[in-house]
Homo-oligomer: A and B are copies of this chain.
Amino acid sequence: MARYQVILAYDGTDFLGFQRQGADTRTVQREIEAALRCLNWQGESILASGRTDTGVHASGQVIAFDLNWKHSVEALERALNANLPDEIAVSKVKETSADFHPRFDARFRTYEYTIYSVPYRNPLRDRYAWHVWPSVNLVLLNKAAALLPGTHDFVVMGTPPPRKGGSTQRTIYQAEWHNLQASGMRFEITANAFLYHMVRRLVFLTVMVAAGKISLESLSEGLQAVRPQIPGLAPPQGLVLKKVRFKDEDAVKSVE
């Protein structure tokens, strides 16, 4: 028996999020556990770095599980992929220490959020991006994004963890918007961890600031936790869990 660490990419469109729910609910976790059971996995639950929400994608989700496997890690990768639906792909399987935990050991999580700004909706982009029109200005987006790095209490910008006494303080290390080809823009944000809905709320806020609909001050007050919950959420399909980094480890790269 050994513990394995696996990087995972998935198109979240047709899943009700990552986390296993009822038996009839199609989630990423359920599919992976079903694939593992075909390999005679006896565990109760796999471990994951983060629970992505319904419709949210991942290119660098990290999971771990214990498995009695007599062949190579390459063979395990092939066996898992053979048992998984096309929307999920496993890469870079490696054996790890028996106490490795992809959530508790994670130190940095990076998400990406993509928007596109053209006058007409494009069905070829809607699956992985939010259509924002009228277009917003990159300089203004980054004025808003520049307020985010640092340690803040994000209680007004994300849903606190369900456990009582869970902290809502998070540290954002980097938050920036970039231009893409063809009037696309991408937000990249790295933090130690995120609250539920926090990235989509921050995306929504920076876009609303750039659109002139929310003031920089409101955003700033939100970061000081002096306002009630700020409403509004960017839609899920623009969001990708890109990369997770762990203590004592190089970056765990996402699939490109």
Q: A residues touching B (Cβ–Cβ < 8 Å)? A: 9-11, 57, 59, 81, 86-89, 91-92, 116, 118-124, 126-128, 181-183, 240, 255-256
Contacts and interface: CB of A to CB of B under 8 A. Distances in A.
A121 B59 CA distance: 11
A110 to B, nearest CB: 15
Contact of A127 (B11, B92, B120, B181): B11
Q: Is the interface of A mostly helix, strand, loop or mixed?
A: loop
10 contacts: A9-B120, A10-B123, A10-B124, A57-B124, A59-B124, A89-B120, A91-B120, A122-B255, A182-B256, A183-B256
Contact of A256 (B9, B57, B122, B127): B122
Given A118-B256, A124-B240, 9 more contacts: A9-B122, A9-B124, A87-B123, A88-B123, A91-B119, A91-B120, A92-B120, A122-B255, A181-B181
Contacts of A256: 116, 118, 122, 182-183
Contacts of A11: 123-124, 126-127
